[in-house]
Amino acid sequence: MHSQPSVPVLVKRLPHSDGLDLPVYATHGAAGMDVLAAEDVTLAPGARHAVATGLALAIPPGYEIQVRPRSGLALKHGISVPNSPGTIDSDYRGELKVILINHGADPFEVRRGDRVAQLVLAPVTRASWLAVDELDETVRGEGGFGSTGGVVALGS
């Protein structure tokens, strides 16, 4: 089996991360690493909170870490990451916090040590803008916001 080379990411444990594991891939084929909460917090329905992880990172230049929701929390409890995927830039050195939102009907308890999100290391391609007077034509053209169909209930 072919395995991808790993990219070293420097991680600093902050005092309130004492006793918590570093983010880890749950399975050999996992794309994301589970990150743990370093605090207890109750999310009321509709509430948001930046959950502390007790970690600060030095992501290599040319990469970002994407913060993504955990599917089980989303399906079972309505807990998600509102700016999904969140981006941690390579030049950020503060504490990694995970913004969670409770879309569920009941309060949700986050306990220290709970897996609250997934972290995905991803390469970044930087864009450069080239101003033009006209763009090339495509079949789709300016159609957007559902113009390609795909919703059976709407007849499209």
- At 23-47, the pLDDT tens digits run 999 999 999 999 999 999 999 999 9
Beta strands at 79-80 and 95-102: parallel, antiparallel or unpaired: antiparallel
| Banded pLDDT at 68 (limits 50, 70, 90) | very high
**CATH numeric code, 10-123:** 2.70.40.10
Rg value, the chain, Cα = 19
Beta strands in 39-126 (DSSP E): 41-43, 48-58, 63-68, 79-80, 86-88, 95-102, 108-110, 115-123
Q: What is the pLDDT of residue 1?
A: 46
pTM as predicted: 0.87
